[in-house]
Amino acid sequence: MDVFGLFLHMALEMRSSLVDYLDGLQAEGRITFTRNEAVAALGITEGAFLKAAARLQKRHKLFNPRHGFYVAVPPQFQSWHAPPPSWYIDALMKHEDRPYYVGLLKAAELHGATHHAVMEFQVVTDRQLRKIRAGRSWITFHFRKEMKSVYQGIIERKTDTGTMKVSSPELTALDLVRYIHVAGGVDAVATVLNDLGAKIDGESLATIAGNFDRACVQRLGYLLDRLGHAERADAMHKHLSATKTVPWVALEPQRHSNDSPSIPPAERSERWRVTVQREPEIDE
C-alpha cells in the first residue's frame, strides 16, 4: 500500500471509530461530548479527531456549536443539521462554565403563553456571548449582570435528554418588560402577558420584582392591570407604594435620547404612574 493509500485507510478508520463513539454515547442516553473526551476515549491525536469530526459535520451527523464542544445529531434531526437546543443547552452552558436560564419568549412558549412558534432560543446569562446558528433556529444570549439575584425565579424543566433551567412565569414576565425590544415591542409583550398572567403567583412576582428597576415594575404592573390580572400585581404594587416618590415613566421606553413623544399621552395610570402614548394592541 502506498503512502496515500495508507493515509486514506487511517482516515477512514478514524472516522469509523468516531462514528462508533457517537453511537456508544447515544446508546447511553448522551449526545454531547468535548474534544478532549473523544481524543482520550479513542486514543487518537487532536488533529486526527478534528479531521474525522469535520467529515461528520459535513454529513450533518455532528454539530459543533462552540469551540471544543460537540453534539451528536440523531438521524431524525440530520435534515435540520442539529437537534433542538433544549437537548443540549444545559451541557453547553456547563461547558461554558456560566450560569444561565432559558428565558423571554422561549420561556413563555414553554409555559404555554405564545401564539406563534419562537424562532430564537433565548438564553439569559452573565456574560456577553455570540449567538449560535443551531440548525433551523438561533440560540441568542442576553446579558444579566447579577444572576444570583433571580435564582428564586429559575426552575428546572425536563427535556428529552435531561433537564434545563427555565425562568418561572414571574421572572419571564419581568424579563419580557425589561428586554421589551428584544421581545418584539410592547404589543408582542402584552400579547404574551395576556396568557401568561394567569400563571403568575403574585407574592413570588413581588419578591423577584425587588431585583428589577422600578420602571420595569411600573410597566409590568400597568400591563397586568390592563389585561385583567390586577390581583396578580397587588403585592408588587404594595412594595412599590412603600417608596416615597415614584417618578412617572413612559410605557414604551425610549430607544434613543431624541425619541421624545411629540403628542400628549393617551392615558395616564395614577396607580402605576405610567404614561401611555398609545394603547397596546393584543394579537388574538
> Which residues of the chain, if any, have pLDDT below 70?
1-16, 255-262
pLDDT in tens, 93-126: 999 999 999 999 999 999 999 777 788 999 999 9
Residues 126 and 72 in one domain: no
Q: Look at residue 114 in the predicted model and tell me its pLDDT.
A: 78
Say which residue the cell 442539529 belongs to: 82
User: How many CA atoms are closer than 13 Å to the CA of 268, on its beta-carbon side?
Assistant: 6
Q: What's the CA dihedral at 218, 224, 228, 232 to 10 degrees?
A: -100
Residues 8 and 106 in one domain: no
Say which residue the cell 469530526 belongs to: 53
Residue 282 in domain: no
In this structure, the number of other CB atoms found within 10 A of the CB of residue 179 comes to: 19
Residues 262 and 179 in one domain: yes
For residues 247 and 266, what is the distance between their CA atoms, to the nearest angstrom? Answer: 18
100-102 β-sheet, strand order: 132-134, 137-143, 120-125, 100-102, 162-167, 154-159
For residues 52 and 19, what is the distance between their CA atoms, to the nearest angstrom? Answer: 9
CATH number (domain holding residue 22): 1.10.10.10
CB 167 within 8 A of CB 102: yes
Q: Look at residue 256 in the predicted model and tell me its pLDDT.
A: 59
Domain ranges, residue 213: 87-276
Residues 92 and 226 in one domain: yes
Q: Give the number of domains in the chain.
A: 2
pLDDT in tens, 52-76: 999 999 999 999 999 999 999 999 9
In this structure, the number of other CB atoms found within 10 A of the CB of residue 210 comes to: 11
* Domain-ending residue, one of 66, 83, 100: 83
CATH number (domain holding residue 214): 3.30.460
Q: Look at residue 242 in the predicted model and tell me its pLDDT.
A: 86
Enter the pTM of the model: 0.89
Per DSSP, the three-state class of 134 is: strand
Bridge partners of 120, per DSSP, are 138
